[in-house]
Chains A and B, each alone.
Chain A
Amino acid sequence: MNALDFLIIGGGPAGLMAALAASDFGLKPLVIDENQKLGGQLIKQTHMFFGSKAERAGTRGFDIGIELAGEMEKRGIEVWNNSPAVGYYPDGTVAVLKNDKLHGLKPKAVLAATGASENFVTFPGSDLPGVYGAGAVQTLMNVYGIRPGQSVLMIGSGNIGLIVSYQLMQAGVKVQAIIEGLPNIGGYLVHASKIARAGVPILTGHTILEATGENQVTGAVISKIDDQWQPVAGSQQNIECDTICLAVGLTPLTEMLWQAGCQMNYVPELGGQVAWHDELMMTSIPGIFTAGDVTGIEEASTAMLEGELAGLGAAKYLKGDSKELQCRIDDTACRLAGLRAGPFGQKAREGKCKLAECRRT
């Protein structure tokens, strides 16, 4: 068993920022990730970020991933790739699988920055080959340079649906339509307009009735829906496509936090069950931190700042307070509040408020 300050589970934007922030204040973190490459979802994101310069607006997601990974290397922060955390034991041991061998790590502080997994919707044919999660499409296209198919029906008009549609077009795939059950487009209007200008219809108030095809997707039947989400008779349309992409939300990957016995609360605004945490991202169990999508589905820029707070929180927990640390914490918290201030941060703001309430009762 290794002696270890700070174990970070998950090398996405949240985990990497936590490692860098913690190392700024003298901790020696270890980052483990089950993936071959560091960066989490960032490695597949080819669009430029929004927000202020301080939050790397105008930089592409994968470049941020490379930058953060490079900084990790520069500082000599230890990283284990291909190493999933597979269990948390009551004495504080985290079991990590590396090279087919199980390692028991007993860190003084631990951060779960495990991200999220994609939601599914069921309809007849939804199990056919050719139905993909948006993340899978991004992985295939942007990591491996492989098209998922020739023509796609996108389900969901949130930012992920819109962005991945645009990326499909850049990869030379025809996007037949984007359908959305709600009466309004879910994501940023700038993204939606860009896609609409390129001639892709965005059909709000529509759902998919079925995917057609014997062995793989050959098409889809879609229909208008009324305000009870019932199909409107006579409005059915056949869409010719070999790929159906689901961009219908994400659910936090909370296994480690459940196993650790952290207080969990169901907050729909945050994407489901999440661990209660304080201002420095510490859960109900001292020394266990959480940050990023696993504590509420938002975006990479907020995940980075939450990660930074968790790293600073771990430093404070293990080394105590200092004026310098407190300044950094205040600055990071302020930037995070700034990112969440706009109308698109409303859901996260409400969710986080609800979560804060849960501890007081």
Chain B
Amino acid sequence: MRIETHPILDFQRGPKVTFYFEGRPVEGFSGETVAAALHAAGVKILRHSVKLNRPRGFFCAIGKCSSCLMEVDGVPNVFSCITPIKEGMQVRRQQGRGRITLD
């Protein structure tokens, strides 16, 4: 789903970054957000809703709609549309409100 040639824009992608989605490695480019990199990898379902367990994806891409909440490195309710990817990051689809681990 990446655009390779474009009549106006020239995409200068950063160095490659590998993170993990549901335990599987996914490659993105430095500077991309979690939701964008997943999208490029064909993943559109980011979580399942609290009440009806319906799939949810990307909607606003600016951290305003809460559609894209995911579990990132064990922390639930992270706005994946504005969170940059990092090497080795563990990203999971969130079910409902997500799991929290308390020490």
* A interface list, Cβ under 8 A from B: 34-36, 46, 60, 117-118, 120, 127-133, 135-136, 139-142, 144-149, 170-172, 215-216, 253
Which B residues touch A35, using CB under 8 A?
A: 62
| 10 tightest A-B CB contacts, nearest first | A129-B57, A136-B61, A145-B11, A129-B44, A139-B61, A144-B36, A145-B3, A146-B40, A147-B1, A117-B64
Interface residues of B in 14-38 (CB under 8 A from A): 31-33, 36
B70 close to chain A: CB less than 8 A: no
Q: Which residue of B lies closest to A84 (CB)?
A: B63
Q: Are B9 and A145 in contact (CB under 8 A)?
A: yes
Listed by A's residue number, 25 A-B pairs whose Cβ atoms lie within 8 Å are A35-B62, A36-B84, A60-B8, A117-B60, A117-B64, A117-B65, A120-B59, A128-B57, A129-B46, A130-B44, A132-B57, A132-B59, A135-B61, A136-B59, A136-B62, A139-B36, A139-B61, A139-B62, A144-B11, A146-B1, A146-B2, A146-B39, A170-B6, A216-B44, A253-B64
B54 close to chain A: CB less than 8 A: yes
Q: A146–B44 Cα gap in the complex (Å)?
A: 12
Q: A65–B28 Cα gap in the complex (Å)?
A: 25
Q: Which residue of A lies closest to B13 (CB)?
A: A145
Q: A167–B43 Cα gap in the complex (Å)?
A: 22
| Nearest CB of B to A169, in Å | 10
- The 8 Å CB contact of B61, one of A133, A170, A172, A216, is A133
Q: Is the interface of A mostly helix, strand, loop or mixed?
A: loop
Q: A232–B14 Cα gap in the complex (Å)?
A: 51
Known: A145-B2, A148-B39, A171-B3. A46 touches B8 (CB 8 A): yes
Q: Are B62 and A127 in contact (CB under 8 A)?
A: no
Q: A130–B39 Cα gap in the complex (Å)?
A: 10
Q: A142–B9 Cα gap in the complex (Å)?
A: 7
Q: A130–B46 Cα gap in the complex (Å)?
A: 11
Q: Are A170 and B11 in contact (CB under 8 A)?
A: no
B56 close to chain A: CB less than 8 A: yes
Given A120-B59, A132-B59, A147-B3, output 10 extra A-B contacts at Cβ < 8 Å: A60-B8, A128-B57, A129-B58, A130-B44, A140-B39, A144-B11, A144-B32, A146-B1, A170-B6, A216-B45
Q: A141–B6 Cα gap in the complex (Å)?
A: 10
